[in-house]
Amino acid sequence: MESNLEDLIKIFAKTADETQMHKLFEEVFTPSEQKDFALRWNLMKDLYRGIPQREIAANHGISLCKITRGSKILKQKDSYCRRILSDRYDDHLHI
C-alpha cells in the first residue's frame, strides 16, 4: 500500500505547470509552512554560494542548527539539491 507521502510526491511530480503548483502549495500548506520551505531553500542557496553559516543565521534570523542540516546535505556527493543548485547557478557564478 502506498504511503501518504508517496502519494503526495507523485502528485507534485505530475504537476508541471507553475501556476498549478503554486495553487497546490496554497491548498496543501499553510502560509507558515510555505514560508519555512522558502527559508530552507534560501539558506541552501546561500550555503551553495559560499556565504558563511553565521552570516546566513544573522541574515535570516535563524539558528545555526537549521543551517547545519543544509550544509550536510550539500556536502554529500549524491545530493539532489546540490545538483539542482549547480545546474542553476554555476554558469552564473562561474564556479
Write the CATH number for 15: 1.10.1270
CB proximity list for 48: less than 8 A, separation 6 or greater = 74, 82, 85, 86, 89
pLDDT tens series, the chain, 95 aa: 679 999 999 999 999 999 999 999 999 999 999 999 999 999 999 999 999 999 999 999 999 998 999 999 999 989 999 999 999 887 655 44
Residue 66 belongs to domain spanning: 4-93
> For 87, what's the count of Cα atoms within 13 Å in the CB-facing half-sphere?
6
CB contact at 8 A, 10 and 31 = no
Which residues make Cβ contacts (< 8 Å) with residue 49, sequence separation at least 6?
A: 89, 93
Please state the domain count of the chain.
Answer: 1
Q: What's the pTM value of the predicted model, to 2 decimals?
A: 0.82
